[in-house]
Amino acid sequence: MKPSFYITTPIFYVNGAPHIGHAYTSIAADVIARFKRLDGFDVLFLTGTDEHGQKVEAAARAAGLEPQEFTDRISSQFRQMADALEISYDDFIRTTEDRHKRACTALWRKLEAAGQIYLGHYDGFYAQRDEAFYDESDLTTGADGIKRAPSGAPVEWVREPSYFFKLSAFAEPLLALYEQNPDFIQPLGAKREVTSFVRSGLRDLSISRTSFSWGVPVPDAPDHVMYVWIDALTNYLTGAGYPGEAPRWPADIHLVGKEITRFHAVYWPAMLMAAGQPLPRRVFGHGWWTVEGEKMSKSLNNALAVEPLIAQFGLDALRFFLLREMPFGNDGDFSRKSLISRLNVELANDLGNLAQRTLSFIAKNAGGQVPAGGALSPADEAILAQATALPDQLRAAIDRLALHEALEDIWKLIRAGNGYIDHLAPWTLKKTDPARMLTVLAVLLDLLRTVAILLQPFMPGSMAKMLDQLGIPPDARDFAALGTPMITGAPLPPPAGVFPRYVEPDACA
């Protein structure tokens, strides 16, 4: 039986249109999911939309729509974006679905039965924009007299009856969890921040609201709806089939943006412990993108949609850029200039040319078929050994979620391949030693196959094209096929470039 692997993205709020920031999380999770599938895992990859809460209700009203109609509309935009990005999700969850309401109700009842919920009333400062409460000490008061949260969101004083979850009892168990499972929260900066937050003590968490109704009703308390974060976090259980017979829980990785790591690494495991459920294995908080040096914001109106970028540069150049440009876990800046440079240098030049040079040379000088190689020289053996070592290097990098390192490892081999072809010069061997020329070409083909198979998770469409050109049948493209001999004599289709250089439209004029 295949080992199983369950990965999730955050579910996205439907109060605004999707943009490149949301795309980033989804692409990263997609690369990991595809990598694991090609490596023989039975993968469950969950994404979706977070559709309840006061903020969504308010956005729907502002758009003059009923919340359900509004969320239907925006949720489908998120799904369209995922499809445009070729995100290979197995399930797209919407928190307005019945299966999810069932899961929330079941979890709530479990917590209640375990004595972890009580009715009280809440007074405090609430920021609707963040869907979060703040301590007075966290707030600043502006010249306008308005109190604001550290995020800049205005807060208001709220007092209402509320159910509470006994979060305060979980500080010690959480600290023990972080200590016994050093990889539970990553990267290290996030772990330190969360640990010190928990060390400073936890207060019970208000988990229901009576001031609006767009949410999952609390069982037997119809005036209350569940706090949107409780509802949202539960999506990961719903996606696993909870409360059915054999849910595919726990998740191996919750991939999230750094601003919501705390919800996933504190509230969520505490609730799961309280309900007697297994805990996710890892929460990874990645960094944030700015666009051309600016934070993306509604007021600047600079949130980048993905479709125009795909139309202009191609999907795989965009996927590649986002994962290559900044170390996974850091913050970075999205600029058109860097995207174009990576596309032209690394995709068109380094990889595209290596493939194109090799394949067109084979088409012209080796009968357009997979050449039979002869005895290997030390140079051949050295580069083939580098290729053979690559899958394990990538497994290690992907397991650490060092996606940028995985790409760098692949590019080291590509650069070595370019050095090899320049140095061994098959065009010269053609005249001096045609048998040796065939061996060099066979080595290059093998190398390209390794590169193309291993790059599939990052650039699925282009690598499918490249593998077609290398004559690799669809059933020989997973990682288990690496290292099997190429079929000599197999005909190769006429070569065609996979990554055309990008030339600015102005430059043509």
Give residues in contact with ligand MSP (CB under 6 A). Answer: 10-13, 21-22, 24-25, 50, 232-233, 235, 256-257, 260, 288-289, 296
Q: Would you call 121 helix, strand, or coil by DSSP?
A: strand
Nearer to ligand MSP, 260 or 372 (CB): 260
Cα(219)–Cα(304) distance, rounded to whole angstroms? 41
In angstroms, give the least distance from the CB of 233 to ligand MSP: 5
CB neighbour burial string for 325-336, b if at least 16 within 10 angstroms, e if fewer: bbbbbeebebeb
Nearer to ligand MSP, 235 or 456 (CB): 235
In angstroms, give the least distance from the CB of 331 to ligand MSP: 8
In angstroms, give the least distance from the CB of 189 to ligand MSP: 15
In angstroms, give the least distance from the CB of 242 to ligand MSP: 14
In angstroms, give the least distance from the CB of 23 to ligand MSP: 8
Closest CA to 452 of 348, 349, 355: 355
Contact 89, 118 (CB under 8 A): no
How many residues does this entry show for the chain?
A: 509
Nearer to ligand MSP, 74 or 273 (CB): 74
Cα(487)–Cα(452) distance, rounded to whole angstroms? 17
Nearer to ligand MSP, 296 or 376 (CB): 296
Nearer to ligand MSP, 285 or 373 (CB): 285
Cα(235)–Cα(10) distance, rounded to whole angstroms? 9
Nearer to ligand MSP, 12 or 242 (CB): 12
Nearer to ligand MSP, 12 or 163 (CB): 12
Instruction: Reply yes or no: is the peptide bond before residue 243 cis, omega within 30 of 0.
Output: yes
In angstroms, give the least distance from the CB of 15 to ligand MSP: 8
Question: Cβ-count burial of 364 within 10 angstroms (0-12 exposed, 13-18 middle, 19+ buried)?
Answer: exposed
In angstroms, give the least distance from the CB of 304 to ligand MSP: 9
Contact 421, 358 (CB under 8 A): yes
In angstroms, give the least distance from the CB of 291 to ligand MSP: 8
Residue nearest to ligand MSP (CB): 21
Closest CA to 440 of 457, 427, 458: 427
Question: Cβ-count burial of 432 within 10 angstroms (0-12 exposed, 13-18 middle, 19+ buried)?
Answer: exposed
Nearer to ligand MSP, 14 or 438 (CB): 14
Residues 6+ apart with CB under 8 A from 264: 233, 254, 256, 280, 283, 285
